[in-house]
Amino acid sequence: MSSPGLLTPVLWLLVAELLLPESFPQRAGASFHACPSVCICASDLLSCVSRSLSLVPPELPATATSLDLSHNSLHQLQDNWLARLPRLHTLRVGHNRVSHISAGAFHNASRLTHLDLSSNRLHSVEKHFFQELSNLQELLLYNNQIARVDSSALLGLSSVHKVYLSWNLLTDFPFGALKEGNLPRLKLMDISSNRLSSLPVDKVIALPQAVKNGLYLHNNPFMCDCSLYSMFLHWEKSGFHSVHDFREDHICLALRQPRASLRFLKHRKMFENCTSAAHGLFGAADASFKVTVGEPLLIGCDTSLQDEQTTYLWIAPNKELITYTSSVNHTFRLYSNGSLEIRRAQKEDAGVYTCMATSKRLMRNETREVNVTVHHSKHDGEGFNTGFTTLLGCVVSLVLVMMYLFLTPCRCWCKPLPSPAPPECSAQSSILSATPPCNHPAARKTGSGKHVVFLEPVKDCQNGKVRLAVGEEFPELKNPQILQLKLDSDSSSSVLSDTATVN
């Protein structure tokens, strides 16, 4: 029998088991796997959709990897509200009333790869919103009231692939944040259906190829501009999905009138001639000029920035900077309205000139490129065209002559000449002759040692004798020594005979 000293600890353990049926590990396990009554839990998926929630449920299972709070009435996201979900990688808070995101709202959420904040009431995207989300791949912010995006708000998203900012109120966007190196994995940036009226074309053109392929800018009220049209036309020819997929949704406003919107990629014939005559419509003059050596040339910097606080500078083809106070070899002069004068054009002045206009009032800049061609004389191009036309005419004429000589059917000159006929066969062309011609073997056989004559119908009778009808072209038949004819005067039928008379 055991001693009382050993029984006491055992009894205390039994009493503790009876009084505390839920031990600490069991309670911790229950809390770890607890599912809120207003949500539906399926393994690691947690759905709290359309529950009229104004606050996030306090007890959430830590095993959840996906949390859906869509279609509720949440107004803000508090600090550290995701700290209890260390495994979370998908968060959907779309179709709520979120207008404020605390600075530490996404602390301890570094595993998050998909974040949906669409269809809320956000007015801006601040720098601190997503700094903790280094593994985020998809960010949905469309259909909010966002009017501003901080230039550093996206810089912390080093792994992001897709960002959706369409259907907001953006009038400007920090395109510099999209340059190469900042968002190395970015493949889609949707800024369509906003209020952008212009683009910094120089910055957009300098973006990486992969970014431009997925940079969606359609359905924005852009002002019609030659540089803008040229950029989108180049993107279309390059097969960029951002233009090809929404070709008819690229519009611009002619004459700066909201009602005069044009689908410039669909009706491109109206935009292909961006000349000075269409300056009022497009806001840019012809981007190509020709000048003769030694003559002056004035180039305008026609951009949409035309206020008094706009400053200009030019970059020459040799990468030299042209400002109001500087000059390159005293050949240029920059005027206050942005026009650049080439005083005496030389061959080395040819190339592409870039104008940069900066508006301090609007805090915006625009660029424009102008191509200058310098000729030795006014007739350089015409002389080349005339000489080329003359050379082409000569080549065509020579080809026609050769075709006539070598490709026409053979007539007489390409056949072998017949051998001269013997004298006794000279009269073979008589219409009464049924005898083979002289070159026939039978004729040659008959003609050996005998004279064969073929007669024509009687044309004239003289003393009952038949006179041979000999043409002037057979003078040898007039020689009596060659031709001797005996004919019976009583035999009148011999005249019509087809048989040759042989002497």
**Whether the Cβ atoms of residue 315 and residue 370 lie closer than 8 Å to each other:** no
Rounded distance, CA 83 to CA 54, Å?
19
Give residue for tokens 């920035």. Answer: 305
Q: pLDDT confidence of 348, banded at 50, 70, 90?
A: confident
Q: What is the pLDDT of residue 469?
A: 44
- Looking at the structure, tell me whether residues 388 and 364 fall in a common domain: no
284 lies in some domain: no
Model pTM score: 0.52
368 and 385 assigned to the same domain = no
Distances (CA, A) of 208 to 157, 455, 486: 17, 101, 113
Residue 139 lies in a domain: yes
In this prediction, residue 401 carries a pLDDT of 79
- The torsion of the CA quartet 278, 284, 287, 289, rounded to 10 degrees, works out to 70
Residue 352 host element (H or E): strand 351-359
Q: What is the DSSP letter of 347?
A: G
Predicted pLDDT at 416: 58
* Residue 260 shares a structural domain with residue 348: no
CA distances 496 to 99, 100, 407, Å, are 128, 130, 48
Residues 401 and 332 in one domain: no
Residue pair 311/337 in contact (Cβ under 8 Å)? The answer is no
User: What digits encode the pLDDT tens for the residues 43-55?
Assistant: 899 999 999 999 9
Look at residue 421 and tell me if it is in a domain.
no
Q: Is residue 19 part of a domain?
A: no
Contact 48, 92 (CB under 8 A): no
DSSP annotation of 261: E
Per-residue model confidence (pLDDT) at position 360: 76
Residue type for 356, please? M
As given in the structure block, the two tokens for residue 54 are 């104004």
Same domain, 434 and 305: no
**Proportion of the chain above pLDDT 70, given as a percent:** 64
Same domain (yes/no): 127, 231: yes
Q: How far apart are CA 461 and CA 392, in angstroms?
A: 70
What pLDDT, on the 0 to 100 scale, is given for residue 276? 37
Q: Are residues 166 and 46 in the same domain?
A: yes
- Residue 351 Ramachandran class (φ > 0 left, ψ -120 to 50 alpha, else beta): left
Taking the CA atoms of 144, 40, 24 and 21 in sequence, report the sign of the dihedral they define: positive
Residue 132 lies in a domain: yes
Same domain, yes or no: 56 and 183: yes
Give the mean model confidence (pLDDT) for residues 373-397.
Answer: 68
Please tell me the total count of domains within the chain.
Answer: 4
* b/e 14-29 (16+ beta carbons within 10 angstroms → b): eeeeeeeeeeeeeeee
**pLDDT greater than 90 at residue 23:** no
Which residue type sits at 269?
Answer: K
Sign of the torsion formed by the C-alpha atoms of 131, 133, 134 and 138: negative
**Are 300 and 397 contained in the same domain?**
no
Claim to verify: residue 212 and residue 195 sit in the same structural domain: yes
pLDDT tens-digit series, residues 425-459: 444 444 344 444 544 444 444 444 444 444 444 44
Which of 221, 253, 277 lies at the terminal end of a domain, its last residue?
277
Kindly report, residue by residue over 411-429, the tens digit of the pLDDT. 555 555 555 555 544 444 4
CATH of the domain at 52: 3.80.10.10
463 CB-near residues (< 8 Å, 6+ apart): none
- Are residues 259 and 226 both part of a single domain? yes
- Report the range out of 131-140, 268-277, 355-364 with the highest average pLDDT: 131-140
Q: Which amino acid is at 461?
A: C
Full residue range of the structural domain in which residue 397 is found: 379-406
Q: In this structure, are 163 and 302 located in the same domain?
A: no
Give the span between the Cα atoms of 321 and 316, in whole angstroms.
Answer: 6
Q: Per residue in 128-160, pLDDT tens?
A: 899 889 999 999 999 999 999 999 999 889 999
Q: Which among 103, 57, 100 is positioned nearest to 80, based on CA atoms?
A: 103
Instruction: Check the CA dihedral 29-35-41-44 and report its sign.
Output: negative
Q: Which two tokens stand for residue 38?
A: 């207003």
Amino acid at 284: A
Domain at 370, CATH number:
2.60.40.10
* Tens-place pLDDT, residues 180-191: 788 999 999 999
Place of tokens 């083979």: 436
**Does residue 70 contact residue 92 with C-beta atoms inside 8 Å?**
yes
Please check whether residue 242 is in contact with residue 212, taking contact to mean a CB–CB distance below 8 angstroms: yes
Q: Is residue 358 one of the residues assigned to a domain?
A: yes
Separation CA 341–CA 79 (nearest Å): 60
d(CA 246, CA 248): 6
How many Å apart are CA 184 and CA 362, to the nearest integer? 30
* Domain assignment of residue 345, yes or no: yes
342, 320 contact by CB (below 8 A): no
Is residue 190 situated within a structural domain? yes
